[in-house]
Chain A
């Protein structure tokens, strides 16, 4: 069932988002991109601030952050319920953990894994309360 609401943003993207459940994967995508942005920042981190700003990795991080924000705003536009969309964005922590494990080969602490499991559980609960 597609319910096309009035909105210039929606017509701009030419996507008939019904404000349906797809807001969850869209928000997760935004969170994943934010995690990669943080990873780029970490790669670009230098001792001097000027060096950091000149670094290509930092620039890439900034671009990724902007992209992440645009997608997040799009999700929020499709489903304008902050208490639903914003906590799902906390999944950034999950993607950061995955990057640190598989790209940086770091071994996560038990406490950190426990935190991630709680975030997954919380987002799952929130998903069941989809605003209609």
Chain B
């Protein structure tokens, strides 16, 4: 049972990271030319689709209240990747805002 929990948490983490990858793909697409846009959006949608399938799979297998709250991490992960990989400038005030938004979605997800 404990092992199952760990596997589900890992799967949710993968699902959230895939969602973040989708966002990165969207951004790369809209800042590119027409071909890049089509590729970026298609790849982003594929990432989202896979992410959603994994998410629904876990939700159907578990009644853990924290599973719904994982969505909030998406904002943090996406911003972290945007900062480290895409070299976005993220002011401290924005990090604070992102953190507060994430806590808010966690609260809603687990209510």
Contacts and interface: CB of A to CB of B under 8 A. Distances in A.
Interface of B: 23-24, 26-27, 29-31, 33-34, 37, 41, 75, 78-79, 82-83, 86, 88-91, 93-94, 96-108, 110-111
Given A8-B34, A122-B97, A125-B94, A87 B79 contact: yes
A93 B82 contact: no
Given A8-B33, A87-B75, A131-B89, A112 B98 contact: no
A111 B30 CA distance: 37
Contacts of B27: 76, 80, 82
Interface string A94-114: 000000000000000101101
14 contacts: A76-B26, A80-B30, A83-B79, A93-B108, A114-B104, A114-B107, A119-B101, A119-B104, A122-B102, A125-B94, A125-B100, A126-B93, A129-B91, A129-B93
